[in-house]
Structure 1
């Protein structure tokens, strides 16, 4: 049997702070899984980077993330225009804004 299901993807514009993170991230590895916290909110939203431009500190770059915990966490607040912080544990390492939200089918 071949099962398919839709997966949410979020296109984002982000900037990482040089004084907060020591090493660059390689987004294509799909191993970078920080949390987003919407500005003026306190809920941690776990995401996984699946694609991104070359990492440069203090420069805005584009990327795509997928929510990790859609069965238990509500990601509906991540809509175009939403500003958020990027956290690794409790460490604030960057910030960004949602550009677009779309669905893709994974098989």
Structure 2
């Protein structure tokens, strides 16, 4: 079940890890930088304004799941995260605004 909870991030994708900037509909995992559990949080980027790899831009995201036990409460303004594709870190970012009504 897809969530209606949305938030904005500033994000950079690494050229050493990706060949192209992702498009809307991209579904990576975010792992919050200071999360000792390193929990993978499934998100969907539904709007993205990143012009080039290794360059910061903005993206609008939503939670992929609305289930108890998933640590989405870790996503808070000014918290940094890693963008994961499997075990690979493909980018990093910071939460700008959460939640967005």
Asked whether the two chains share a fold, i.e. TM above 0.5, the reply is yes
Displacement of 1:103: 4.5
What residue ranges of structure 1 are gaps of 5+ in the alignment? 1-5
Mapping of residues 1-107 of structure 1, within 5 Å: 7-27=4-24, 30=25, 32-41=26-35, 42-72=38-68, 73-104=70-101
SS in 2 for 1:7: coil
After TM superposition, the score normalised by the length of structure 2 is 0.87
Q: List structure 1 segments (4+ residues) > 2 angstroms apart after TM superposition.
A: none
Instruction: Please say if residues 20 and 53 of structure 2, whose CA atoms lie closer than 8 Å, have aligned partners that are also in contact.
Output: no
Instruction: Please say if residues 39 and 71 of structure 2, whose CA atoms lie closer than 8 Å, have aligned partners that are also in contact.
Output: no
Instruction: Please say if residues 33 and 82 of structure 2, whose CA atoms lie closer than 8 Å, have aligned partners that are also in contact.
Output: yes
Aligned residue pairs, count: 96
Instruction: Please say if residues 25 and 55 of structure 1, whose CA atoms lie closer than 8 Å, have aligned partners that are also in contact.
Output: no
